Amino acid sequence: MSSGKINIAVYPGTFDPITNGHFDLIERGARMFDKVVIAVAASPGKSPNLGLETRMELVKKVCVSLPNVEVIGFSTLLTTMMHEQEATIILRGLRAVSDFEYELQLANMNRAQNPELESVFLTPAVENSYISSTIVREIAKLGGDVSRLVHPQVAEALRKHYTS
């Protein structure tokens, strides 16, 4: 029996830039939930290398084949944005044990703010387990090849960003 309510998951992050690891989780989340909202955080405190609009556009390009995925930008509390999206599921990735402690702390804080929120953790495919946006940025900044780590359009955007 269907309750008529759709399961909306939000995958928040800075996506500076979106990597193959991110896309792996998005694709799997899109199979698990009725709708996945990719919430690109403005995160001025983290001083992203790519602007919010650029990051959103790259996520849209990478996810174009997934009809139940929507991309938004946000600069509010995650719990506020979740309420605005009528979502109760936070999708997060865990690459290593070191991620777990931080993510557990965030999950508990989010649930303290709104007890209806649930965090769902996915682990990356083995071939993506070592990829992080930080590593991709460092390689791209130094003129290295990131084509096996990100979508071709992301690789091109990074090349242009760091050579201009």
Selected catalytic residue, list 22, 55, 92, 137: 22
Could you confirm whether 95 is annotated as catalytic? yes
User: Does the annotation mark 31 as catalytic?
Assistant: no
Catalytic pick among 28, 60, 61, 95: 95
From the list 55, 133, 137, 151, the catalytic residue is 133
Is 22 among the residues known to form the active site? yes
The reply to whether 98 belongs to the active site is no
Q: Are 65 and 57 in contact (CB under 8 A)?
A: no
How far is C-alpha 58 from the geometric centre of its chain's CA atoms?
A: 12
Residues recognised as catalytic: 22, 46, 95, 133
